[in-house]
A and B are shown apart, each in its own frame.
Chain A
Amino acid sequence: MTAITRSLGNVSTVGKVVIPLLVLILVVGPLVTVLLATVIGPWVVGVANSNLGILRFVVAITGILLFSIPAAFIIIYMELKVIAYMNLRVGPNRVLPAGAAHSVIAGLKVLTKEDFSPTSADKTVFTWAPVMVFLTAVMTFMVIPFGPGLVGAPLNIGLLYLFAVGGMTVVGLLLAGWSSFNKYSLLGGLRSAAQVVSYEIPLTLSVVGLILLAGTLSIDSIARQQAGWVWDWFVFRQPLGALIFFIAGVAEANRTPFDLTEADSEIVAGFATEYSGMRFGFLFFAEYVNVFIMSALIVTMFFGAWNAPVDINAVLGFFHLAPFWVYLQPGELGLGLLLVIAVAPLLVTLALSAPVYLLRDSMPAWKALVVGFILFNLLVIGALGLAAYIDWDWVAGLVWFMLKAFIFVFVFVWMRGTFPRVRIDQLMGFAWKWLLPAALLNLFITAFAIVILKSAGIH
């Protein structure tokens, strides 16, 4: 033993870390593996099997919490960069290429700042209001289907849940505004109460026509009904409803031109005036999570959810083709498969590096090989991605869903870069005098159309 300690004393610092690690991996690793496989594994699987609903919920909520923060970071970065470009500026450009990590660093900065609360604030409410705002935002994620089967809780009253929980955000904002002991915050809180409650009504009513069409409150089912071509999306059957939903959604998410709750030129920062540190971070994240949720909802309701705009099966059927991956049967190669696995990387790397080597005079051979290998890897990743896209419909769904959702996020940001803000009386007047009648009109027209079409026998 002393010999081992002495020899350990001679090794370098790296060795002192690596050698115990090697011991750990070589000795403890197999032991743990065997233990897991024989005893713990079956037990865990048994417990999980008997509590599948709870497990699903825990996994879903963890996934959503983990997803919401990067999504907010991406949207914040997008907002900074897109508005900067529209302003003929460059925007964030220092952290990573094109400032890609700017919002992450800003988030870290927010974490390290002093968590200040005003002397006369209601401390408890002041502390918990941002948490409430953030949690209600994240709770809404539970019923949004990101892809076929990729939904936190497949409720059959998903829409009802959505509007119920979404309406709770205003409570958090009101609490934040009231507890700050600041007149600007109070005004902001009251404005948000008036605005969100008013726009809740056209928002909900604009979807009722869609519910009549779809015959269900389940978001998952609404999404499935839009499969097929672009014109199967509900936006073409409910254009007015989609427009009202979009406008009311902008107001719901407190975005320009309806961002009266934090109108910086009027009431300094509204309900967030007195917040700093991570409490402000929560409010800030919640705003951007709300933006994503609104885009996701618009996509889910009206723009075909996760469905691709092209019905790939119909296209293939038109040309009397089966999907080409049906022809690809790797198992048929037998031992040849091993050969392919062994030789293909080498050959493809060489094939890809050859033009690089030949076309660039200053390129040494090893560099060309490295480039070729990287290209090969990209090719493999692309091929795997394609295979995943083809084989697993949830991957395809996720890709299309995210693409469409971020297009709408871009529209939100675009509007922020273009429009001034409306006044509070115009805002309320617009909701009650225009959006609400329009939503009702949409509802009646849809109902009449359904009744007439049904009585005419056209389904």
Chain B
Amino acid sequence: MTAPVQPHYPHPSADDPRIMLDAQIGQYEQVPPYPPRTEREAEFYTLGDGEMFLNMGPQHPSTHGVLRVVLKINGEKVVDLDPVLGYLHRGVEKLCENSDYHHIISQIDPLEYVSSLFMEWAPVMAFEKLMDVQVPRRAEYIRVLTGELLRIASHALFQGWMALDLGGLTPILYSFIERDEIVEMLAAVTGQRMLFNYFRIGGVNGDLNHEFMSRLGDWMSRAAVQHEANIGLLNENEIFVRRMRDIGRVDRDTALRMGVTGPNIRAAGIPFDVRRAHPYSVYPELEFNVPVRGSNGGGDSLDRYLLRLDEVRESIRIIDQCLHEMPDGPVMARLPRLMRPRPGRAWAAVESPRGLFGTYVISDGTDQPFRFRIHDPSFVHLQLVGMLMKDNLIADTMAVMASLDPVMGGIDK
């Protein structure tokens, strides 16, 4: 009777330098565990004297979702940093290419969950161009009305997150109260609070109803006052202002070179607004200003924060005009259920709360787009992070990142 022969499996970690053995625990693992792939990576992952890496995220209280930032720090000072993306990648573009034109609206809805209506608006506009659809004017007004409401909600949320990242507990709650009123209002007309799925090719899903209008009227009567009261908590606060001023300064040239759009470029002194630069919908008929700040050579975090507050005031103006000038009529163009546009391509961009949000569609004549591409502003803005945060303190990374207002859902697509 011989002992059964045990098959020999070599322990996989025996000579694999990437796996820490028990004996090695207690020493720092080498970062990165793989040989560097690019020159930049080799440079980044070489530590200088007194420097160390600090891995921030993907689970961290203030990285706005699942952004991971590897910081190279010297004491409290950030020497260099490396954002790592892709933790929220869902392949939205590919999902959209595999669904028909109506279905895309609901697929792209959760892309940037803070301002869903704008995510629907751009593809819907692109499809309307592709199919040569005339949208009823009432539908356009409803789109502008709901869109501007959501812009206020998004900026309110930005304000709260900004304060939370700087350690203030209270403003986020006030922001959520303000946002909650708006999303409840939109839920009354769209049927959902967050992923509205409201815009349709050739119009919107339903007309404004009594619940929406009564809530809107109630809210409009105190919106401006409430907004001013809420921002009074932070705008005059010395601690807040001193923490925001003169950090993360983006000058005009950088902003233009990096393709920054939206509030961030307007805070850098360039009055670029898609609603005015490439007018769409009924915006040419509406009267509103494009607020600009930081015109003397660029804007810092405080400018970006204040500019969004200015935009809220403008949005309230636009909503007021929409309510006064909204025409009667249908909210949906008469269209066939199944749409097979002629082969062609279309680009449409809207001014989302974060900047220029665009979609590019190529049709091959079937009921699904051949190619569908998304331009998300948050992704562009996140590229600034490396430039802005160098030689700042760890605490400033939060202030700068929050002031750029990225949403990871849009960045990772």
Contact = CB atoms under 8 A, between A and B. Distances in A.
Physical contact A–B (CB less than 8 Å): yes
B174 A419 contact: no
Interface stretch (A95-103, A265-273, A358-366): A265-273
A426 B170 contact: no
A120 B76 contact: no
A342 B281 CA distance: 89
Given A87-B173, A88-B174, A265-B398, A424 B393 contact: yes
Interface string B126-144: 0000000000000000000
Contacts of A420: 163, 166-168, 234, 237, 239-240, 243
A80 to B, nearest CB: 11
Nearest to A267: B394
A257 to B, nearest CB: 5
Q: Interface extent on A, as a size class?
A: 20 to 34
A183 B52 contact: yes
B170 A422 contact: no
A418 interface: yes
Contacts of B53: 183
Interface centre among B26, B169, B240 (most CB of A within 10 A): B169
A13 to B, nearest CB: 52
Contacts of A267: 394
Contact of B393 (A256, A268, A425): A425
Interface in A245-268: 256-257, 259-260, 263-268
A421 B168 CA distance: 7
Given A183-B54, A265-B61, A424-B393, A418 B170 contact: yes
Interface string B211-240: 000000000000000000000011001011
A426 B394 contact: no
Contacts of B165: 265
A156 to B, nearest CB: 40
Contacts of B76: 187, 191, 424-425
Interface string A175-195: 000000001100100010000
A37 interface: no
A107 interface: no
B395 A423 contact: yes
B170 A263 contact: no
A120 B25 contact: yes
B163 A266 contact: no
Contacts of B177: 88
B268 interface: no
A237 interface: no
Contacts of B264: none
Contacts of A256: 167, 169
- SS of A interface (majority): loop
B169 A87 contact: yes
A88 B165 CA distance: 20
B167 A265 contact: yes
B242 interface: yes
Given A88-B173, A417-B169, A421-B166, A266 B395 contact: yes
B393 A423 contact: yes
A424 B61 contact: no
B167 A421 contact: yes
Contacts, number: 86
Nearest to B26: A120
Contacts of B60: 268
A261 to B, nearest CB: 12
Contacts of A83: 169-170
Contacts of A418: 168, 170, 233
A422 B243 CA distance: 7
B61 A268 contact: yes
A347 interface: no
A101 B312 CA distance: 42
A420 B54 CA distance: 24
A263 B237 contact: no
A127 to B, nearest CB: 18
B395 A424 contact: yes
A11 B381 CA distance: 82
B62 interface: yes
Interface in B165-191: 165-170, 173-174, 177
A119 B163 CA distance: 35
**Max chain B Cβ within 10 angstroms of own Cβ: one of A256, A265, A422:** A265
Nearest to B76: A424
B300 interface: no
A260 B163 CA distance: 15
A89 interface: yes
A119 B167 contact: no
Interface string A366-394: 00000000000000000000000000000
A119 B23 CA distance: 12
A265 B396 contact: no
A48 interface: no
Contacts of B52: 183
Contacts of B55: 183
A273 to B, nearest CB: 11
B58 to A, nearest CB: 13
Interface string A261-292: 00111111000000000000000000000000
- List the 6 closest A-B pairs by CB distance, nearest first: A421-B167, A420-B168, A87-B173, A420-B166, A265-B62, A420-B167
14 contacts: A184-B54, A256-B167, A257-B239, A260-B395, A263-B395, A264-B61, A265-B167, A266-B398, A417-B170, A419-B167, A420-B243, A423-B395, A424-B393, A424-B395
Given A87-B169, A418-B170, 10 more contacts: A87-B174, A191-B76, A260-B395, A263-B167, A265-B61, A268-B60, A420-B163, A420-B243, A425-B76, A426-B243
